[in-house]
Amino acid sequence: MTVIAVILLLLLAASGIYVAAVLGLVSVILGEAFSFLPLMPSLGTVSWGASSNFLLVAVPLFILMGEILLRTGIAADMFNALDKWVNWIPGGLMHTNVASTALFAATTGSSVATAATIGTVAVPNIEKHGYGPSLFLGSLAAGGTLGILIPPSISIIIYAFLTDSSVNDLYLAAMIPGFSLAVMFSVAIYIACKINPSLSGTRDKADWSQRIRALPHLLPPIILFMVVIGSIYIGIATPTEAASLGVVASLIFGFSRKRINLEVLKRSFEGTMKTTAMVLLIVVVAHFLNFVLQTIGATQFISDFMDNLGLNPYVAIVLIIAFYLVLGMFMEGLTLITVTTPIVVPVILALGFDQIWFGIVFVILIEASLITPPIGINLFVVQAVRGKGEFRDVVIGSLPFLIMMIGMIFLLLLFPGIAMWLPNLLN
pLDDT digits (tens, 9 = 90+) for 269-310: 988 888 788 777 777 777 777 777 777 776 667 667 766 777
DSSP at 422? H
Cβ pair 128, 134 in contact under 8 A = no
What global pTM score does this model have? 0.84
E strand residue ranges, 129-179? none
Indicate the DSSP class of residue 305.
Answer: H
Between CA 381 and CA 365 the distance in angstroms is: 19
Other beta carbons within 10 Å of 197: 11
Cα–Cα distances in angstroms (integers) from residue 39 to residues 20, 87, 312, in the given order: 18, 58, 37
CA distance 165 to 362: 14
List, in order, residues 6 or more apart from 363 with CB less than 8 Å away.
148, 149, 153, 155, 156, 159, 174
Are the CB atoms for 346 and 306 separated by under 8 Å? no
What totals of helices (H) and strands (E) does the chain contain, helices first? 22, 0
Residue 195 has, within 13 A of its CA and on its CB side, a CA count of 8
Each of the 427 residues of the chain gets a pLDDT tens digit; together they read: 555 666 666 665 555 566 667 777 777 777 777 676 677 767 677 766 666 677 778 888 888 887 888 788 887 788 888 888 877 788 878 888 888 888 776 666 567 667 777 787 788 877 777 788 899 999 988 988 887 888 888 888 889 988 889 988 999 999 999 999 999 999 999 999 888 888 877 766 777 888 888 888 888 888 888 888 888 888 888 888 888 998 999 999 999 888 888 998 998 898 888 878 877 777 777 777 777 777 777 666 766 776 677 778 899 899 999 988 988 887 777 778 887 888 888 889 888 899 999 999 999 999 898 898 877 888 888 888 887 888 888 899 999 999 999 999 999 999 999 999 999 988 7
Q: Are 54 and 240 in contact (CB under 8 A)?
A: yes
Q: Where are the alpha helices (DSSP H) in 87-218?
A: 93-108, 111-122, 125-129, 133-145, 154-163, 167-195, 208-214
DSSP letter assigned to residue 151: S
The answer to whether residues 400 and 356 touch, using CB atoms and an 8 Å cutoff, is: no
| Alpha helix stretches (DSSP H) within 235-332 | 239-256, 262-295, 298-309, 313-327
CB 358 within 8 A of CB 165: no
CA distance 285 to 50: 9
Per the CB < 8 A criterion, the answer to whether 393 and 190 are in contact is no
Compute CA 20 distance to the chain's CA centroid, rounded to the nearest angstrom.
19
On whether the CB atoms of residues 158 and 334 are closer than 8 A, the answer is yes
3-class state of residue 304 by DSSP: helix
End-to-end CA distance of the chain: 41
Three-class DSSP category at 204: coil
Please give the backbone phi and psi of residue 336, each rounded to the nearest 5 degrees, phi first: -60, -45
Query: Considering only CA atoms, which of 217, 1, 250 is closest in space to residue 108?
Result: 250
